Chains A and B, each alone.
Chain A
Amino acid sequence: MPILLEVTLKSVVLIFVLLTGFAYLSLVERKVLARLQARIGPNRAGPMGLLQPLADGLKLIFKESVTPAGVDKPIYFLAPVLVVVPALILFAVIPVGQGPAFQLASDINVGALYVVGVMGVAVYGITLAGWASNNKYAALGGLRASAQVISYELGMGLSIVAVVLMASSASLADIVEAQMPGNILGWFVFRQPVAAAIFAITALAELARAPFDLVEAEQELTAGFMTEYSGMKFALFFMGEYVKMIAVSALFVTFFLGGWSGPFVDQVPILSVVYFTIKVVACLLLMIWTRATLPRMRYDRLMGFGWKVLTPVAIANVIVTAFLIALGVPGYK
């Protein structure tokens, strides 16, 4: 198959899967959140509410697309796109299964760097949306987003550095391979627990999800950076947020939970995709569970926690890991 056709085909399938995943993730989140709060959740559209995403989508399409006066038009319209695209292209380097059939570009040797870079770009959409909206709540949300993401990106980058050190490769395919010395203890979540914890926390902050959802804190900022967005433009932000949730879960699985590895993948390659999906769904449920549990942090505490706790711990973790690897301690080679 010519390479271009193959890549296009894979991308189309990936995007289709991601968009379906986004739609149903929003439903699952609402359902699970409801059950965690002793409620029922959406159950009117279709059997057990299964058509709810469709109903939501239709509703958003038919909403009037309002453009408030005084917005910075080009940036205002560009911002939602800038949120969705990085979320989608993050998946390019994530190996979703064993063998080249399930991988798009996961063997590029700067995979980890690409991840950090794309995650960094994603915040532009939010900041620009807040800035271009000509609304003080939106601007505050956008500013919070940029400060928060810059602070937590550091911790996240350093936790990825520890993983890269362990795998002695920045390619995500190699990182998965490095976690497969036969048993579950090979997963980096056991060999790099500190990095895993830091990645999990900073990922929540990057996604601006509870308890770090100050970017769109409803009670203070109405809807933060997306206050002035309605209809499909709002839907794009929504989509970006949920696709990024899936992408970050997939990254956590790749970096720390052994990626697509699992029993019998060598015999039945399709099982690897199943394992990967199960792990990603588990991470997503954990995120929803977190949202149901933890209250939003105060802004100064958020910054303090990022700079005074996470970053130093992440740096220390990288140094210790480097020493352990240099000394050839078993499990760190």
Chain B
Amino acid sequence: MGLKDVLTRIPVGFLTVLKTVTRRPVTIQYPEQQKPMSARFRGRHHLKRYEDGLERCIGCALCAAACPADAIYVEAGENTNEERYSPGERYARVYEINMLRCIFCGYCEDACPTNAIVLEPIEFPTGYTRESMIYTKEMLLESPPINVPATPQRTPPGKYDRAILPFPPIDESQ
């Protein structure tokens, strides 16, 4: 850098920096101000229920198999008529999604035979620790419709012997 540069360019630099003061800060004050989510953001997972309160998820772990990020962990349990979580034989006794691994691709949604796992752009998963970012079944499962009992339910024998009920599917246009 010659003397000419020192005398011309450095003052220009100083003025450029000073001009920045008049600009509005770009900082987003996170909890109070939130950036709008990308229009193509699929959202975070929710485990859906049927209208009678039973869980749609049958613990088949197809979602876990489809997941490219290996973010889902499913452990199936056996349903009985005294303690029924979902139609058919089995339900998800443990269902966890690691939101830090998930890439929000939606493949789990596509893989699910019962439309149980659905991504909905309601809120973005946030947390202070790694542990808190592993969403458990309780956090993912939606609450049952009003005036409908939660799971487990006591059900009459023979009513739920198929894993997939002939209920109308979830409205995809929502």
Contacts and interface: CB of A to CB of B under 8 A. Distances in A.
Interface stretch (A20-28, A36-44, A55-63, A150-158): A36-44
Query: Do most interface residues of chain B lie in helix, strand or loop, or is the interface mixed?
Result: helix
Contact of A39 (B14, B16, B17, B26): B26
A38 B23 contact: yes
Interface in B1-60: 10, 13-14, 16-18, 20-21, 23-27, 29
Contacts of A293: 10, 13-14, 16-17
A66 interface: no
Interface size class of A (residues with CB under 8 A): 10 to 19
A292 B21 CA distance: 12
A40 B13 contact: no
Interface string A124-147: 000000000000000000000000
A289 interface: yes
A42 B21 CA distance: 16
Interface residues of B, number: 14
B13 A37 contact: no
A296 interface: no
A40 B24 CA distance: 9
B17 A289 contact: yes
Contacts of A289: 14, 17-18
A36 B17 contact: yes
Interface in A168-222: none
B18 A36 contact: yes
A209 to B, nearest CB: 15
A37 B14 contact: no
B20 A38 contact: yes
Nearest to A44: B29
B21 to A, nearest CB: 5
A290 B14 CA distance: 7
A34 B24 CA distance: 11
Contact of B20 (A37, A40, A290, A294): A37
Interface of A: 34-40, 289-290, 292-294
